[in-house]
Structure 1
Amino acid sequence: MKSKIREANREHAPLERRFLKLFSPVKVFFSSQAMAGIALLISALLAIVMVNTGWQHQYDVLNKLVLAVSLGDWEISHSIHYWINDGLMVLFFFILGLEIKYECLVGALKDLKDATLVIAMAIGGMLLPALIYLMIIWIGGTDAFQGWGVPMATDTAFAIAILTLLGTRAPKAAAIILTGLAIVDDMGAVAVIGLFYTEQIVVSSLLWSGLTLATMFLMNLLGIRVPSLYLIGGVVLWWFILQSGIHATTAGILAALMVPTHPYANKRWFLHKMQYVVKTFRKVDKPNATILESGEQHALAIEAEEIAKSTTTPIIRWGNALRNPVSLIILPLFAFLNAGLLLPTDIPEFKDTVVTLAILFGLVLGKGIGISIFAWLALKTGLARLPEGVHFSHIVGVGFLAGVGFTMSLFISALAFEGHPALIAQAKMGILLGSLIAAIVGTAILLFISRKELALSTAATT
């Protein structure tokens, strides 16, 4: 959390005041939680518009554009689509792994009662969508059973962005529940990717990746907190897992679990050192001189920054450093390169919509009903409790919002239907429609609850 600097304490450049009047609202918007979801939406819409307005060839060329890295006789060459999906998306899974570790240690999954509710909701939100998908595929008589993992996923960025835009119309605890639900949900999705969408295992590469992981774990135990060493370890781990046959993004989760959670120095040391720096800063201060003229004060300010770094935990600091680049660059690129869908000009036959319907109903009904039922069972059996200020109706609204499965659903569909472009197109349609309907239904439920509560409170005061 950044401290707000008052206008009287600012050091302005000659044209900065006028510039800030224009730039400040933009900066606030880009730093908001909703921006990640909006960036994803814009990227997806751009891809769909491009494909459906005569630019499909250029879109396909961009996806297949080859990017090569070579050194002497060694070369690695893949399409832009491959580099994003199997390369840069590892960073998304790395942040996901950091969030999983954080939530398990000190977050929504730390307390057993709170964790039980979230875990129960996530189980219901994975089982029922998969069952609905399989049932519709069976009724439709098609051979696309491998896509059962597609409607199981929740897109955290989109769902949290919707809650953020709702503001006070949704309780703050609802965002915590949704975040915890999405984390457990994503853990299930990662397990599905690793266990069911891996074609062939290369044992030697798997052993090397295990050795790399063990080395990173040893670094953690030894108290090594140098980011570059973990970066090198993560890249090596990604390479061996890529060669092993397991999907490369698994390396992001595993590398994140090795990130240290302990700071270099404790809070008492931080207080003592910062007090010394502030005291010395005041002692050498010359009121009429700028910090540019005082090398000693500049050095003290840098020392304060180093003291702060030594007292913050790598798991939070590294996550914060990567979150915006991943949310605002990598995920939108992924959405753009994967969401391109040629919309049908006429009503397709039922046999050509089975996968679409299976995913749509899985995301909307499977998520909403499955999460609500399992949450109700957990509460009725006393295994879980509702957070303060949250009613069961809020759980239902959150359950439908969890049906927004955009990013992870697209990711799993690309793995499930690899080599089957027609099925991928059906899956994309189901994901887009299902996510849109789930977002509308979830938002409508939460807005209805908010208006009902407002009406009751108004009636009570009068």
Structure 2
Amino acid sequence: MYRVWNYVTAYSLLLIGGALLALIWANTNPDSYHHFVHYVLVDNFFIGELHEEGGGATRTLTLHFLVNDVLMAFFFAIAAKEVWEAVILENGSLRGSRAMTPLVATAGGMIGPVVVYLGLAAALGVFETVSRGWAIPTATDIAFSYLVGRMVFGAGHPAVRFLLLLAIADDAGGLIILAIFYPTGELAPAWLLLSLGAALAVFILFNWLPRRLDRGNQLRPNSTWVRKYLSFWPYLIAGCLSWFGFQEAGIHPALGLLPIVPTIPHADRAFGIFAEAEQYLTDLLNWMEHRLKFPVEFVLFFFGLLNAGVEFSAIGAPTWLVLFGLIIGKPVGIFLFGWFAANVLRLGLPDGMRNSDLVVVGCVAAIGFTVALFVASVAFPAGPVQDAAKMGALFSFGAAIIAIVAGKVFRVQKVALP
């Protein structure tokens, strides 16, 4: 439990603190709060929010842009690192047949919320106004969901590992959705060649080539020299180029580091996102992740502070669409698709996991929060619709109570670690 709590304190408590402070501030002095959020750091800058005035276009670097579009790139890089490990490494949790049922259940956990969100929007007659926010309730907050899952099932229950696989796959799906469906401007795909070129160049020159030259030499002089004298700098430069390529291509630049993550040297195995042994790996990718830990904590604090400041008067139809998409669509989608994969496709469930446990897993996965807030901020322009949708993401914390009750109703037997 210590490792899980350590992760939650690292990546979530400061986020919650920022969100609570934002709620208090926005509801006591909204004018000063919004002035703070959109405070202009640099005008007429080469990065920032795009403004078209008098037939010309200028960029303004605001505090909101700095956090959401620049600094959050490091958070998504860490998420991408975990997804990359799970998919590519030999013992990755999303490799092979053992991952098929969670992957199918993940599809249900993303389709279900979309169906509920859009269906309710059509029924309420607000479809045209809110349809762009369909992806908001597809998100699962991996840290909080994992913590609640262990509270409900116990640390040794197979449903906890199932939940973790589902949450990692959900993060991967969320990154793809952000890149494809939420461009930040007019698409200019040619700029992605800059990102691709930076990724290929840094991989070939500073990863593949040194290892190629070191073949047959156990001392690995070239790889050692690159690691000792160049360290992370080539990858940081490539990351900046890739980030800029994403911005100019019209794709959300917070995803700009994703092409660089797979190019960084990595150990030939992963112990998992919550494994104690992970901190002892000395490869460059894990080394960089450990060094980013504390900076990303504060990035998440400011993300919560700049994005969760919603006035309670903003509660409206989008609030309930997001909330019901999460607390109804997630459990129903995960159960139906998971049951179909396990029983009809005969992919099965982990030993010791029942069909009814899928319902409880779905309730746990309904905690959106971090990524849901992020998607809400890009799905809608600043205003009442965005604020109402963000409130739904904040209310999704209530899924934790629903999950605990569901665990009691379905008589989940807690299983401790052996």
TM bin (shorter chain): 0.7 to 0.9
Cα distance in structure 2, aligned partners of 1:30 and 1:125: 23
What residue is the counterpart of 2:99 in the other structure? 115
Query: 1:376 deviation in Å?
Result: 0.8
Cα distance in structure 2, aligned partners of 1:424 and 1:115: 35
Aligned-residue identity in percent: 30
How large is the Cα RMSD of the aligned pairs? 3.0
C-alpha deviations, 1:160-219, integer Å up to 9, x for none? 23345x287353543332222122112111111111111412244222222212213324
Cα distance in structure 1, aligned partners of 2:152 and 2:392: 29
Letter in 1 for 2:207: N
C-alpha deviations, 1:342-391, integer Å up to 9, x for none? 012xxx9xxx8322221111111101110111111111035433234433
What residue is the counterpart of 1:317 in the other structure? 287
* Equivalent residue pairs, number: 369
User: Could you say if the C-alpha distance between residues 385 and 259 of structure 1 is closer, same or farther in structure 2, counting changes exceeding 3 Å?
Assistant: farther
**Contact conserved, 1:93 with 1:253, CA < 8 A, in 2?**
yes
**Contact conserved, 1:84 with 1:334, CA < 8 A, in 2?**
yes
C-alpha deviations, 1:42-61, integer Å up to 9, x for none? 22122111212x22222112
What residue is the counterpart of 2:353 in the other structure? 390
User: Could you say if the C-alpha distance between residues 195 and 235 of structure 1 is closer, same or farther in structure 2, counting changes exceeding 3 Å?
Assistant: same
Query: 1:69 deviation in Å?
Result: 9.4
Cα distance in structure 2, aligned partners of 1:423 and 1:354: 9
Letter in 2 for 1:64: H
User: Could you list the runs of 5+ residues in structure 2 that have no partner in the other structure?
Assistant: 46-57, 212-225, 269-278
Question: Which of 148, 158, 172 lines up with 1:162 in the alignment?
Answer: 148
What residue is the counterpart of 1:101 in the other structure? 84
User: Could you say if the C-alpha distance between residues 401 and 30 of structure 1 is closer, same or farther in structure 2, counting changes exceeding 3 Å?
Assistant: closer
Letter in 1 for 2:407: L
What residue is the counterpart of 2:301 in the other structure? 332
What residue is the counterpart of 1:90 in the other structure? 73
Letter in 2 for 1:68: V
Q: Does residue 415 of structure 2 align to residue 445 of structure 1?
A: no
Query: 1:246 deviation in Å?
Result: 0.9
Q: Does residue 175 of structure 2 align to residue 190 of structure 1?
A: yes
Cα distance in structure 1, aligned partners of 2:124 and 2:94: 39
**Contact conserved, 1:116 with 1:384, CA < 8 A, in 2?**
yes
Question: Which of 196, 200, 221 lines up with 2:208 in the alignment?
Answer: 221
Letter in 1 for 2:95: K
Letter in 1 for 2:300: L
User: Could you say if the C-alpha distance between residues 382 and 170 of structure 1 is closer, same or farther in structure 2, counting changes exceeding 3 Å?
Assistant: farther
Q: Does residue 166 of structure 2 align to residue 181 of structure 1?
A: yes
Letter in 2 for 1:102: E
SS, match of residue 92 in structure 1: helix
Structure-2-length-normalised TM-score: 0.80
What residue is the counterpart of 2:118 in the other structure? 134
Query: 1:100 deviation in Å?
Result: 0.6
Which structure 2 residues correspond to residues 218-367 of structure 1 after superposition, within 5 A?
218=204, 219-222=206-209, 223=211, 225=227, 226-262=231-267, 312-326=282-296, 328-344=297-313, 353-367=316-330
SS, match of residue 110 in structure 1: coil
Letter in 2 for 1:318: M
Cα distance in structure 2, aligned partners of 1:445 and 1:323: 34
Question: Which of 366, 371, 374 lines up with 1:411 in the alignment?
Answer: 374
**Contact conserved, 1:136 with 1:354, CA < 8 A, in 2?**
no
**Contact conserved, 1:171 with 1:389, CA < 8 A, in 2?**
no
User: Could you say if the C-alpha distance between residues 324 and 443 of structure 1 is closer, same or farther in structure 2, counting changes exceeding 3 Å?
Assistant: farther
Q: Does residue 32 of structure 2 align to residue 39 of structure 1?
A: no
SS, match of residue 453 in structure 1: coil
User: Could you say if the C-alpha distance between residues 424 and 192 of structure 1 is closer, same or farther in structure 2, counting changes exceeding 3 Å?
Assistant: same
User: Could you list the runs of 5+ residues in structure 1 that have no partner in the other structure?
Assistant: 1-27, 264-307, 457-462
Cα distance in structure 2, aligned partners of 1:249 and 1:118: 27
What residue is the counterpart of 1:11 in the other structure? none
User: Could you say if the C-alpha distance between residues 396 and 31 of structure 1 is closer, same or farther in structure 2, counting changes exceeding 3 Å?
Assistant: closer
Structure-1-length-normalised TM-score: 0.73
User: Could you say if the C-alpha distance between residues 70 and 230 of structure 1 is closer, same or farther in structure 2, counting changes exceeding 3 Å?
Assistant: farther
Query: 1:31 deviation in Å?
Result: 6.9
Cα distance in structure 2, aligned partners of 1:379 and 1:91: 36
Cα distance in structure 2, aligned partners of 1:384 and 1:43: 42
C-alpha deviations, 1:211-237, integer Å up to 9, x for none? 212213324322465311111111111
SS, match of residue 252 in structure 1: coil
Query: 1:259 deviation in Å?
Result: 1.9
**Contact conserved, 1:66 with 1:78, CA < 8 A, in 2?**
yes
Query: 1:262 deviation in Å?
Result: 4.3
What residue is the counterpart of 2:220 in the other structure? none
**Contact conserved, 1:170 with 1:446, CA < 8 A, in 2?**
no
